[in-house]
Amino acid sequence: MKQRILVLGGDGYLGWPTAMYFSRRGHEVAIADNLSKRGWEAELDVEPLIPIASLDDRIAAWQEVCGPRIGSFVGDLTDLDFVRGTLEDFRPDTIVHYGEQPSAPYSMIDAQHAAFTQVNNVVGTLNLLFAMRDVAPDTHLVKLGTMGEYGTPDIDIEEGYLTVHHNGRSHRFLYPKTPGSMYHLSKVHDSHNIHFACRVWGLRATDLNQGVVYGIETDETALDPRLATSFHYDEVFGTALNRFCVQAVAGEPISVYGRGGQTRGYLNIRDTLACVGLATETAAAPAEMRVFNQFTETFSVLELAQRVRDAAAHLGIETTIAHAPNPRVEAEEHYYNPRHSGLLELGLEPHPLSEELIDTMIERISAFRDRIRPELLVMGVRWAPERPAPERPAAEPVAAAPAGASRQDRA
């Protein structure tokens, strides 16, 4: 059925392709964005590999190429009046929420960036929930969470919830979270706030705990160069596989943190759009917060690097793998077995990571080789301060025990 779909953060890496995806399928689409991602890029002196147009020019190009008009609301989710006004004007059936500061490294630069990330993300989502309660209580919220909320517990990761049996009784809780950055922690707060709004106010929501996204093109961005999305390769906004492909093209060693045993869930950007589409087509029930773990495959960082190295060699590009000190605080080797059946049961048909797909990414990146700035590949953001090893006091000499002393006497 045709829906009115509001995409929050619709100027971003995922938001812009999502807006086009729904528009092309006949839905009435509007974007809400404060354009702050472009400001954060300017602050850090980074830029997408492929030049992107302004939001107005993107919307105009989409209308020229495909016909339907994508609406736009420019404002900040931390402004409750803006959020309420947007919902009153557009009256969405579904809200797809990407409108947050999306980078773990950005949140760990210093106290100011951590506080900004928490306030921006948590308050923006709280404003949205209150506005939905008062203006659009029947609207379905599709919220982008992250697999990083869970961390890497030494037990299986269930899909959102865990039933606990204790002293002869049982209860179903949100799965316990052990996030690894201030950004991921803000997403945990979002999940609890959304769960509260569904339980107490009767809202409906789907929380998509997404893995690491890779990819440079979707069916819609491929229609016209002006429709490109913001593909990043820098250490702050670029994700692992995207950065590795750019390093290979630039002739830089592929940098693997530590031994590279860190394992995570990954998915193609095309699968992100398919997952959001499936969640939108099958709304949660009133007072329900569904949770889907949104990824298609798991890889260690080293395995990803090896795949990029091998695919690059297939194209005649020789590159090496370099193990670098890990700026993050995370386990080098760990158990990782997350469930992810929900979206598959709804009909998701994944695009697995293949050598052909990596080759396609590398070829596309190679067309913009001159825009690669190697200094952005390692920008020095650390999760914890470097501290010198504490000096050990000199050991006091131990007097020799007299002959015949007992073991206790010697101690």
Paired strand residues for 169: 166
The pair of structure tokens assigned to 16 is: 């812009």
- CA nearest 22: which of 12, 11, 7, 36? 7
What value does the mean pLDDT take over residues 105-119?
98
332-347 average pLDDT score: 97
> Distance between CA atoms of 193 and 174, rounded to whole angstroms?
12
321 in a structural domain: yes
Quote the crossing angle between the two packed helices 124-135 and 80-90, to the nearest 10°: 40
Among residues 13, 98, 175, 183, the one annotated as catalytic is 183
Confirm whether 287 is domain-assigned.
Answer: yes
Domain span including residue 304: 4-376
Q: What is the CATH number of the domain that holds 69?
A: 3.40.50.720
Helices (H), 119-268: 124-135, 182-201, 240-250
**Could you confirm whether 296 is annotated as catalytic?**
no
Any idea what DSSP says for residue 272?
H
Residue 390 pLDDT > 50: yes
Averaged pLDDT, 15-26: 98
> What's the confidence (pLDDT) of residue 410?
33
What pLDDT does 406 receive?
36
Question: Mean of the pLDDT values across residues 64-79?
Answer: 97
Confidence of residue 395 (pLDDT cuts 50, 70, 90): very low
Which of these is catalytic: 117, 187, 266, 319?
187
Residue 403 has pLDDT above 90, yes or no: no
Out of 18, 94, 146, 296, pick the active-site residue. Answer: 146
Active site residue 177: no
Q: Cα separation of 37 and 198, whole Å? A: 29
Task: Determine whether 187 is an active site residue.
Answer: yes
Identify whether 397 is part of a domain: no
169-174 vs 94-97, strand pairing mode: unpaired
Residue 386 CB contacts under 8 Å (≥ 6 apart), including other chains: none
| 410 assigned to some structural domain | no
404 inside domain: no
Mean pLDDT of 226-238: 97
Please give the tally of structural domains in the chain. Answer: 1
Q: Which residues pair with 71 in a beta bridge?
A: 30
Q: Is 98 within the bounds of a domain?
A: yes
pLDDT beyond 80 at 393: no
At 392, the pLDDT band (50, 70, 90 cuts) reads low
Q: Give the per-residue pLDDT at 411.
A: 33
Give mean pLDDT, residues 52-63. 98
Q: Is the pLDDT of residue 236 over 90?
A: yes
Round to whole Å and give the CA distance between 51 and 299: 30
306: confidence class by pLDDT, cuts 50, 70, 90: very high
Structure tokens at 311: 């695919």
Question: How confident is the model at residue 3, as a pLDDT?
Answer: 98
What predicted TM-score, i.e. pTM, was given to this entire model? Answer: 0.93
- Kindly state whether residue 385 falls inside one of the protein's structural domains: no
Query: Is the per-residue pLDDT at 159 higher than 70?
Result: yes
CA angle, 342 then 344 then 349, to 5°: 155
Question: Which single residue is written with the structure tokens 């953060």?
Answer: 9
Inside any domain, residue 364: yes
3-state secondary structure of 196: helix
